[in-house]
Amino acid sequence: MQGFCLDCKGTSTGLPLALGFIDTLTVCYGENIINFQLMEEMPLNTSVGSLATNSGLQVNMTTQEFNNLRYSFLDQTDMQNLFNINDKTGDLQTKIQIDREHVCDFVDSCVLKFDIAIHSSVPAMFKIYSVQITLLDKNDHSPKFPSDMVNLQVMESSPIGTSVTIDDATDLDSSPKYSVQGYEIVPSNSIFRLDSTPKVDGGFWLNLVLLQKLDREKLDHYQLQIVAKDGGFPPNVGTATVNVEVTDDNDNSPVFVQDVYNISIAEGTESNTAILAISATDKDIGDNGKVTYSFSSRQNGLDSITSLFSINETTGFLSVIGNIIYEAGKVFKIYVDASDHGTSPKSSQATVHINIMDTGNNQPIIRINFISLGSNDVVNISESSNIATLVASLNIEDPDTGANGNVSCSLSGEFLSLQPIPNKKGYLIMIKKKFDREKQDYHNILVTCQDQGSPVKSTTKVFHVRVLDDNDCTPEFLLANYFASMDENNLKGTPITKVSSKDDDLSPNNDVQYFLDSDSEGRFAINSVSGVITANTVFDREQALNYKFTVLAVDSGNPPLTGTSSVILTIKDVNDNAPYFDDVPFFQFFVKENADTKNPIDKLTAHDKDEDGTRNSDITFSLDPRFSDANLPFIVYPQGNIYTNMKLDREQQSSYQFTVIAKDQGTPQMSASMDVKVYVSDDNDNRPNITFPTKQNNTVTIPYSVEVGTMITQVKAVDLDETGPNSQLNYRIKSGNEQDVFMIGSTTGKIYLKRTYEISSDKMFPLKIEVNDNGKIKLNSSETLRIVLLFANMTTAAQESGSGNRNIIISIVVIALTVVISAAMIAIILILRYKDKQDKQQGQKPLTYPQITPHEKTMANCLSKDMDMQIKKKKEVSFSIDEDLENMELYNTNSTTTSVFNDFEKQHEKYKVNKKGLHVEFPEQKEHHSFDNISELSDEATNSDSGHGSSDVDITNQSNGAQSDVKFAPKSVRLQPVLSAKCQSPIRADDVLTIVTNNGHRNSFDNSHRSLILDGRKKSGNSAKSKDNWVPSYV
């Protein structure tokens, strides 16, 4: 078979291989790389990926050819110890659990590389691929210090700022992300600070820095914890316990048990006899606390003293070394120095007075027999031994008789006493005061026995008491209360503080373990040996700010003793709460228009559950940026105050809405928003605007003969202020109506003819119209309205004048007949309705009423909307036209009349005019006053107001208090037809009945409408045509 090279990319190198039927095969090397990623510590047989799929060979092969491919490692490599290749499927799997730190050590990127061969016999091919597996790091190691326990020594004289180097921790995780990121010291309130400085190689220089002055005599040992954290989430931590031993500095001088010693010795005391035990202690330890005794070199007669006496520099025993001779009155005064062995020795001094007694007999002999175990004149006594416990027996031998043989003994110190043995020369040595090993564990006891001879003979003997420890000391915490703090939202296991205690007993009585009392409620944990307290839960400052619990220190004595201390933990605030507003949908404020610039509106309020007085709860307010370009006339200050920055005009805009944001100052910063609605309240700052009359349109012309009560025109005005008193308008004629010819509706502005005014030529009345609002400070406007009365044809006027009296008579007759006919028709209607009602009750068919013509139906419909007929009892008949022409009423004016109206009222209480026909209503009896809805006519005229409400027109002329109603018979009916201006009924001039009142004024009444009111049908009127048919003209 011919040699060949398959499609390879890159440089290829020919390599002859024996492949059975293939003579030679050219192998291709090139940039064929397959990349995988694998997380370390994955279990055995974890799939890394498919070599077959990632090779891309399937693109140019059939399925059969692709399935014939085989896969294998190209070389014998260490990778075969880590991975397996399925030669048929090309699946790559782990062979072992791979530890990235073992394979790659400390490198940023761990890539495992090896070559594989992909080959096939059909078709004949051989390809080499480079496989690169990136091994991803897992945070599976915690930081570890070289030693879990570090012991340091610091001189108590070390100045503040002294630093001691500590080895840093290492993390076997090889990626920088999971390496050690930082350190902290526990407790944080220790007298030491931990400084950590990064190294070039990724480690840290750790230095323990002294923050306070040390005093070994108060506390000679400190225990700290150094915590290393890696970059995981949550981080892994490693801890090293640091024991700091405060080494002694010679800062204490020896202290004598007594500053002055007074003893008496007999002359002739034997040489080398100890006469006094001098004792001094030094709080320092080692050489600094080792005391040496000597005679002071600065004293008189030093040579004489040193020839007679000596002092043991170690024990402090003062002994006789010379021949003691009694000299009357002579007392030896010796100054003894006690010095320590420090580098710079410290010393103190005591005075010894020795009195020499004259003797001439034998000295007593002392023999001591110890009850408890002891050796070499040393007796062991437990500090728990009770008072009166026997320690030893003291036997005295003195061959003298009499006073010379009468011996008495004494003991030095306050702890032992002598009890004489009856009938025997001797004593029992018993405990007088309990020993306290923690105060003094070794006592030198001097026994002095002397006789009563002359001279007195005495003998001294020294023995030693070693005080044995008993578990009598309760562990005592260094602090009665431990104060600690930590951030809320902490991780479990976070160190909080470290407690320490001391026990003055000896081991094992002073071996202490630490426990938490039940009041910790499982929120905390404590290391029983080190005393480090850690968090066992996640704390939320908003639920509880402080926690107080009890920690116990229990020694190993029998029975064990327990000391207690309190730990007070303050949870420090973290900004984990956003500001919030009160439970309202929005803020609502009001501001008056035209207020000064920078006028305060109100103040925003918000709350934050985080700690008060901190940046986390310090809330500032601002305008939502979305409204920054809205040109709002407001300023929102950080404290929440809202001010205007310009004068507001309610007529331009009556309300504003925007959003404010409340932000705290914590990290990260948190915020909340709320809508604000500001309503602009009205100020009476707009005068009424008169739209008619104006300077361009201010003239109205009418014939002077129009009816009294006719509406001439209406003054139009508007006020832009808010609906209410500021925009409610009142109208009045300020001037130009001195003749009292016109009147104006105070609320509607409608102007009516109040009375007839005789003229011989056209007459113009310039009325000064004033319109004012009802604000607290009333604003007004005024315009001039020119009303022109046109003079009518003189001939017509003369004819009317000649026939005036006749017309009056005719009018009276017609009105009287109309009233009678109307009353009769109403009575008939009522009777028919009553009978109809009875027939219905008896099952009879109702009566059929006459049909109404279309024209009548139209008029009835119109009247049904705008007409109300009321009948009241009165003694006179008059007509009046309401300003709005909306109601028509019939009044029976005689309260004593027994007419058909009274019978009708008994049977039917109410009838109303509706769209279907006539409905007459009889309300309760009320008095009626004309001009009821005119409250203000002009400056020159005064009108009465009935109190029924404001209206504009009453035909009754009330000038000068005169009543001008037309007078009829005492028992007549007064009709008051009121036609709505809205009802466009076709009233002809010849349908108007003119009534001339007794003062010469004229009233008109529409006959056709009157007839419609009476019987629901239109009846033709025969009255003469009026010459007052006119239409006002406006100029």
Residue boundaries of the structural domains of the chain: 33-136, 149-247, 250-358, 362-469, 476-572, 599-607+615-672, 689-793, 810-930+965-1034
Residue-wise pLDDT for 269-280, tens only, equals: 888 899 999 999
pLDDT for residue 34 is more than 70: yes
Is the domain spanning 149-247 CATH 2.60.40.60? The answer is: yes
Residue-wise pLDDT for 541-587, tens only, equals: 989 999 999 999 999 999 999 999 999 999 999 999 999 999 999 99
C-alpha to C-alpha distance for 599 and 641, rounded to whole angstroms: 10
Q: Are 647 and 557 in contact, with CB atoms under 8 Å apart? A: no
C-alpha to C-alpha distance for 57 and 65, rounded to whole angstroms: 10
pLDDT for residue 169 is more than 50: yes
Strand-by-strand arrangement of the 416-420 sheet: 365-370, 390-397, 426-431, 416-420
In CATH terms, the superfamily for domain 250-358 is Cadherins (2.60.40.60)
C-alpha to C-alpha distance for 515 and 496, rounded to whole angstroms: 15
Angle, in degrees to the nearest 10, between helices 854-866 and 1007-1015: 90
Q: Which phi and psi (to 5°) does residue 18 adopt?
A: -85, 115
pLDDT of residue 248: 79
Residue-wise pLDDT for 529-541, tens only, equals: 999 999 999 999 9
pLDDT of residue 575: 92
Using a pLDDT cut of 70, give the percent of the chain over it.
75
Instruction: Give the pLDDT band of residue 623 (cuts 50, 70, 90).
Output: very high
**Mean pLDDT lowest among 572-586, 693-707, 733-747, 940-954:** 940-954
Residue-wise pLDDT for 57-79, tens only, equals: 888 888 888 999 999 998 888 88
Element (H, E) at 661: strand 655-663
Q: Are 918 and 960 in contact, with CB atoms under 8 Å apart? A: no
Residue-wise pLDDT for 860-907, tens only, equals: 444 344 434 333 333 333 333 343 333 333 333 333 333 333 343 334
Q: Dmax of the chain from CA atoms?
A: 189
pLDDT for residue 853 is more than 70: no
> Which has more confidence, 644 or 142?
644
pLDDT of residue 113: 92
> Which has more confidence, 847 or 437?
437
Phi-psi region of 961 (alpha: psi -120 to 50; beta: other; left: phi over 0): left
In CATH terms, the superfamily for domain 362-469 is Cadherins (2.60.40.60)
Q: Which of 234, 235, 225 is closest to 495 using CA atoms?
A: 225
pLDDT of residue 643: 92
Beta bridge partner(s), residue 428: 393, 419
pLDDT for residue 637 is more than 50: yes
pLDDT of residue 790: 92
pLDDT of residue 771: 96
**Mean pLDDT lowest among 508-512, 831-835, 859-863:** 859-863
Q: Are 14 and 133 in contact, with CB atoms under 8 Å apart? A: no
C-alpha to C-alpha distance for 282 and 499, rounded to whole angstroms: 29
pLDDT for residue 12 is more than 80: no
pLDDT of residue 756: 87
**Mean pLDDT lowest among 348-357, 420-429, 667-676, 913-922:** 913-922
Using a pLDDT cut of 90, give the percent of the chain over it.
41
The residue type found at 156 is E
Average pLDDT over residues 941-945: 37
Residue-wise pLDDT for 780-789, tens only, equals: 999 999 999 9
Residue-wise pLDDT for 443-476, tens only, equals: 999 999 988 877 788 889 999 999 998 998 899 9
Can 476-572 and 599-607+615-672 be said to share one CATH topology?
Answer: yes
Task: Please give the C-alpha separations between residue 520 and each of 188, 231, 485, 487, 537, in angstroms, as whole numbers.
Answer: 21, 31, 16, 18, 11
pLDDT of residue 857: 45
Residue-wise pLDDT for 655-714, tens only, equals: 999 999 999 999 999 999 999 999 998 888 899 999 999 999 999 999 988 999 999 999
Q: Are 852 and 864 in contact, with CB atoms under 8 Å apart? A: no
pLDDT for residue 924 is more than 50: no
Three-state SS annotation for 668-714 = CCCEEEEEEEEEEECCCCCCCEEEECCCCCCEEEEECCCCCCCEEEE
> Which has more confidence, 723 or 637?
637
C-alpha to C-alpha distance for 804 and 522, rounded to whole angstroms: 118
Q: 3-state class of 332 per DSSP?
A: strand
pLDDT of residue 842: 65
Q: Are 735 and 768 in contact, with CB atoms under 8 Å apart? A: yes
In CATH terms, the superfamily for domain 689-793 is Cadherins (2.60.40.60)
Q: Which residue has the tokens 């108060």?
A: 218
pLDDT of residue 806: 64
Instruction: Give the pLDDT band of residue 835 (cuts 50, 70, 90).
Output: confident
C-alpha to C-alpha distance for 27 and 6, rounded to whole angstroms: 8
Q: Which of 113, 213, 105 is closest to 158 using CA atoms?
A: 213
Exposure of 857 by Cβ count < 10 A (0-12 exposed, 13-18 middle, 19+ buried)? middle
Q: Are 253 and 282 in contact, with CB atoms under 8 Å apart? A: yes
pLDDT of residue 927: 39
pLDDT of residue 1018: 37
Output the pTM of the full model: 0.39
- CB count within 10 Å of CB 448 equals 21
Fold assignment, 476-572: Immunoglobulin-like (2.60.40)
Average per-residue pLDDT in the chain?
78
pLDDT of residue 78: 85
Q: Are 321 and 310 in contact, with CB atoms under 8 Å apart? A: yes
Residue-wise pLDDT for 274-317, tens only, equals: 999 999 998 888 888 899 999 998 888 888 899 999 999 999 99
What CATH class has 599-607+615-672?
mainly beta
Average pLDDT over residues 991-1002: 36
pLDDT for residue 16 is more than 60: no
| CATH architecture observed for domain 33-136 | Sandwich (2.60)
pLDDT of residue 724: 87
pLDDT of residue 1019: 37
- CB count within 10 Å of CB 705 equals 20
